[in-house]
């Protein structure tokens, strides 16, 4: 009697079953995945050595060194003035008093006006959002052009941009003030946005150029063969692959623009002063007793946005840096 070989679908038993299971493509790939993962993460130490203890101690001391001012600021902002005068700066507050925070936000005096630093907060938002978007867009397009489109004089232009990235702001202030005054834009919102875009363009061009230089040129060539033009290739091919570096650029620009003081003081005008300038006015507009809890609360509120941006997207920042932000 003949047996149909296709009639039985049961896997073999015993050693044959083991061979059958190990023959699966997914199962064969699993050990290699584990080896790659372990090779990437490195070998886990089995015992605590003196060098590792020293490394942990150094990291702990460095973390405490940088966190100590922030802890003192938070504790001081939650204390009343009698507690601050009579107690230690490291002492915990007797009761968590948010009066200084409320006053710093809504009623602290920033010169002649006593509306708190909330006015500066919204001014900083209005300045930061368009400045960040415009500088990233300009830097991405220029970096893409310098990487794939070999225009005449591209190396000279890139060298000039790099020179602008490392020159101090102060040498440009007076010429720019004169130039914006002549065109009627000085002390306006448009003026400070344009200034931030100009000063952010060199570093944005640098990081986008280095990122695009690491992409395969075959992608660009294939898009050119398919009839893609300058902006179509950028929008449909390059931009979808630029998520890591876009996050890096956004973090850098938000932090730099939000924390800026001198450009906002010179170019923003009285009606558009950013939060950092308002903070300086709060600290220096005190008459009589200096309210340290109010100053600390205002400082923390001013620094909250950059800290929040970094804590939320810090891991993306590290990925973007590793993907090519400092490469080339």
Superfamily (CATH H level) for 119-282+308-325: MetI-like (1.10.3720.10)
Q: Residue 6's pLDDT band (boundaries 50, 70, 90)?
A: very low
Report CA-CA distances (Å) from 142 to 37, 165, 254. 37, 15, 20
Is 24 exposed, middle or buried, given 0-12, 13-18 or 19+ CB atoms closer than 10 A?
Answer: exposed
Q: Residue 4's pLDDT band (boundaries 50, 70, 90)?
A: very low
Q: Residue 286's pLDDT band (boundaries 50, 70, 90)?
A: low
Q: Which residues contact 193 (CB under 8 A, 6 or more apart)?
A: 127, 130, 131, 134
Task: Please tell me the distance from the alpha carbon of residue 312 to that of residue 306, in angstroms, as a whole number.
Answer: 10
Pick the more confident residue, 91 or 276. Answer: 276
Across the range 220-233, mean pLDDT stands at: 88
Question: pLDDT for 150-209, tens place per residue?
Answer: 777 777 877 887 787 788 888 889 999 999 999 999 999 999 999 999 999 999 998 998
Across the range 130-140, mean pLDDT stands at: 95
Is 53 exposed, middle or buried, given 0-12, 13-18 or 19+ CB atoms closer than 10 A?
Answer: exposed
Nearest to 128 by CA among 176, 186, 189: 189
pTM for the model stands at 0.78
Taking each helix axis as running N to C, give the angle between helix 170-183 and helix 189-213, from 0 to 180 degrees, rounded to the nearest 10.
Answer: 130
Phi, psi angle pair for 207, to nearest 5°: -70, -35
pLDDT at 39 over 50: no
The predicted pLDDT at position 289 comes to: 75
Domain coordinates in residue numbering, the chain: 50-97, 119-282+308-325
The predicted pLDDT at position 16 comes to: 40
């Amino acid at each position: 009697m003949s047996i149909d070989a296709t009639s039985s679908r049961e896997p073999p038993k015993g050693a044959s079953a083991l061979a059958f299971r190990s023959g699966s493509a997914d199962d064969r790939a699993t050990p290699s995945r584990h080896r790659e993962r372990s090779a990437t993460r490195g070998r886990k130490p089995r015992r605590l050595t003196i060098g590792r203890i020293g490394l942990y101690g150094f990291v702990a001391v460095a973390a405490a060194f940088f966190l100590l001012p922030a802890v003192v600021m938070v504790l001081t902002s939650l204390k009343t003035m009698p507690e601050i005068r009579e107690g230690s700066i490291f002492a915990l507050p007797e009761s968590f008093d948010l009066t200084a925070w409320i006053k710093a936000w809504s009623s602290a005096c920033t010169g002649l006006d006593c509306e708190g630093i909330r006015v500066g907060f919204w001014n900083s938002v209005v300045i930061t959002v368009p400045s960040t978007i415009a500088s990233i867009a300009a830097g991405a397009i220029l970096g893409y052009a310098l990487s794939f489109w070999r225009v005449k004089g591209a190396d000279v232009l890139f060298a000039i941009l790099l020179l602008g990235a490392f020159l101090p702001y102060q040498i440009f202030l007076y010429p720019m003030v004169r130039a914006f005054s002549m065109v009627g834009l000085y002390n306006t919102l448009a003026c400070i946005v344009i200034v931030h875009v100009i000063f952010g363009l060199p570093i944005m061009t640098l990081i986008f150029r280095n990122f695009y230089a690491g992409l395969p040129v075959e992608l660009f060539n294939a898009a050119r063969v398919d009839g893609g033009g300058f902006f179509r290739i950028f929008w449909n091919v390059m931009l979808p692959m630029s998520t890591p570096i876009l996050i890096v650029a956004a973090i850098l620009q938000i932090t730099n623009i939000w924390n800026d003081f001198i450009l906002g003081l010179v170019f923003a005008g009285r009606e558009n002063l950013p939060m950092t300038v308002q903070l300086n006015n709060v600290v220096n507009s005190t008459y009589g007793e200096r309210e340290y809890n109010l100053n600390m609360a205002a400082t923390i509120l001013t620094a909250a946005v950059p800290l929040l941006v970094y804590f939320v997207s810090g891991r993306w920042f590290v990925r973007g840096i590793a993907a090519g932000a400092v490469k080339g």
